[in-house]
Structure 1
Amino acid sequence: MSGPGQLAFAFPPAVSYAEADFVPAAASAEARAWLARWPGWPSGRLALWGPEGAGKSHLAAIWAARAQAAVLPAAALDSAEPPALLGAARHVAVEDGDRIAGAAAERGLLHLLNLVAEGGGTVLLTGRRPPARWPVRLADLRSRLAAAAAVAIAAPDEALLAAVLAKALADRQLAAAPGVAAYLVRRLPRSFAAMQAAAAWLDRASLGSGRRIGRALAAELVALHDNRGS
């Protein structure tokens, strides 16, 4: 049987974006309040912004499920027409809007915003910075982005990440020894995705080796991650 150190551990993993898997915290309280106001957003648009791993994609997925919205990366606007991307959906979430690059993609986003507005729909945008600071050159697009309500999500703190990891383990009917969650939170990437990946690895490693989820197994996980990153 393979030892736990031989198990694959890669970022980002396949992560559940179900509403039940989101751990609410003060860092996302304002964003969640704005999402609850849907569809009453100014101009029919809302932007969630914050650092990597803050939970923007998870909240966008929760909203998309409620609104039956399409979800697409901003990069898709560079090579596909908005009607095809939108399909039959009236609402859409555009991920990583701050990474939009090039005239074609900017025209695509502008076309998408206009198309959704004409159909009485709503647009949720995500990015690392507020839309007013996105590096777009198209004047009409800049004005529409500047008019969107923008709400920040703070990076998750250690307590929140530890809670996410504990929940991910509990969902698998697993329990870690005291101090393991705090140990991993301080040594792995500070994101929800990293905690979900850690729980999946610990599940497989514990099952494969018959060992408890204690500090020794956690240290093997950290070493494996560090070796992959070096």
Structure 2
Amino acid sequence: MSPRQLPLPLALPPERGAPVLPDSSNAVARTWLAAPDDWPGGRLALFGPEGVGKSLLLRQAAARLGLRVLEGSALRGVPDGLPSAVDDADCAAEEEALFHLINACSSTGALLLLAGREPPARWRVKLPDLASRLRAIHAVEVEEPSEQLLRALLAHHFAERQVRVDPATQDWLLLRLPREAAAVSLAAARLDRAALAAGGAVTRALARQVLADLPFFGAEEDAAADDVSVADGAGGSNRHPTLL
């Protein structure tokens, strides 16, 4: 038996150099990010589910606008009011720090860009004054990607991990995965580890085994099969036997 290669749980570097692919899901956000003079009070917040590209949009806008990037999980103390961008701002380590940062930017006229999973008005904070300031921040949603962007994201995740998956298998996967960016990212990561451990290529059999417990895996395929079955049933004489 050949020795089994064990995958190491190494974190991938942030995709700071990856391009933001224009898509209907991020069109509104890109428009607002391109016009910082139009941000009400010089503040803007991006929100949306995991994996839709909020962090990437925030970081690339920060680089273009000269904003320092802060991580919400590390936000403590009394930060100054330099033009700033806070990723995962809804997970700020200290509410007081976020409160002081908003005030500092407001008093100096500095730009402030935030990102979180929900609009700031819905963030669960205990400080009433912070809640009031968060409600005043204009929020723009980054939506789940279109079919075209999902296809590009899946190919990007495989390329980033240096995993070769033929286009037919990628098409097969897209038919079965939930239409969410986070699901596409998770599937690519799982298949990468599984293929490395097995010492082989990403196949349909491997995907069925590795992704079987993923919520709604195969739902799109099942729905398509149901539609075909109903259409065939309506025709009666046009039905064809299923080939197994």
With the length of structure 1 as denominator, give the TM-score of the two structures: 0.71
Give the equivalent residue in structure 1 for 2:233. Answer: none
- Paired residues of 1:161 and 1:185 also in contact (CA < 8 A): no
Return the alpha-carbon distance in structure 2 between the equivalents of residues 160 and 58 of structure 1: 15
**Does the residue aligned with 1:113 lie in a helix, a strand or coil?**
helix
Give the equivalent residue in structure 2 for 1:180. Answer: 170
Which amino acid counterpart does residue 72 of structure 1 have in structure 2?
A: L
1:135 to 99, 108, 124: 124
Give the equivalent residue in structure 1 for 2:87. Answer: 95
Q: 1:9 to 1:193 in 2, by over 3 A?
A: farther
1:46 aligns with 2:38: no
Which amino acid counterpart does residue 50 of structure 1 have in structure 2?
A: G
C-alpha displacement of 1:49:
0.9
- Paired residues of 2:190 and 2:210 also in contact (CA < 8 A): no
C-alpha displacement of 1:30:
0.7
> Which structure has the greater CA radius of gyration?
2
C-alpha displacement of 1:42:
0.8
Q: 1:185 to 1:97 in 2, by over 3 A?
A: farther
Q: Deviations over 1:122-147 (max 9, x none)?
A: 11111111111222233332232222
Give the equivalent residue in structure 1 for 2:26. Answer: 28
Return the alpha-carbon distance in structure 2 between the equivalents of residues 35 and 52 of structure 1: 19
Return the alpha-carbon distance in structure 2 between the equivalents of residues 68 and 151 of structure 1: 21
- Greater relative contact order structure (CA < 8 Å, 6+ sep): 1
Return the alpha-carbon distance in structure 2 between the equivalents of residues 193 and 94 of structure 1: 25
Query: Which consecutive unaligned segments of at least 5 residues does structure 1 have?
Result: none
2:58 to 57, 60, 75: 60
- Paired residues of 1:202 and 1:217 also in contact (CA < 8 A): no
C-alpha displacement of 1:35:
0.6
1:154 aligns with 2:146: no
Return the alpha-carbon distance in structure 2 between the equivalents of residues 180 and 19 of structure 1: 20
Question: RMSD value over aligned CA atoms?
Answer: 3.7
Return the alpha-carbon distance in structure 1 between the equivalents of residues 202 and 163 of structure 2: 12
C-alpha displacement of 1:180:
2.4
C-alpha displacement of 1:60:
0.8
Q: 1:193 to 1:58 in 2, by over 3 A?
A: farther
**Relative to structure 2, which stretch is displaced further, 53-62 or 196-205?**
196-205
1:7 aligns with 2:7: yes
Which amino acid counterpart does residue 120 of structure 1 have in structure 2?
A: G
**Relative to structure 2, which stretch is displaced further, 92-101 or 119-128?**
92-101
Q: 1:202 to 1:100 in 2, by over 3 A?
A: closer
With the length of structure 2 as denominator, give the TM-score of the two structures: 0.68
- Paired residues of 1:91 and 1:121 also in contact (CA < 8 A): yes
Overall identity of the aligned pairs, in %: 38
Return the alpha-carbon distance in structure 2 between the equivalents of residues 166 and 40 of structure 1: 35
Give the equivalent residue in structure 2 for 1:76. Answer: 74
1:110 aligns with 2:99: yes
Structure with the higher fraction of residues in helix conformation: 1
Q: Deviations over 1:191-224 (max 9, x none)?
A: 3695398279749958x95x5554356557647x
- Paired residues of 1:13 and 1:193 also in contact (CA < 8 A): no
Return the alpha-carbon distance in structure 1 between the equivalents of residues 91 and 193 of structure 2: 35
Which amino acid counterpart does residue 47 of structure 1 have in structure 2?
A: A
Return the alpha-carbon distance in structure 2 between the equivalents of residues 24 and 182 of structure 1: 24
Give the equivalent residue in structure 1 for 2:112. Answer: 123
Q: Deviations over 1:80-135 (max 9, x none)?
A: 3313xx7xxx321112222347xxx2221121112223333211111111111222
C-alpha displacement of 1:2:
6.0
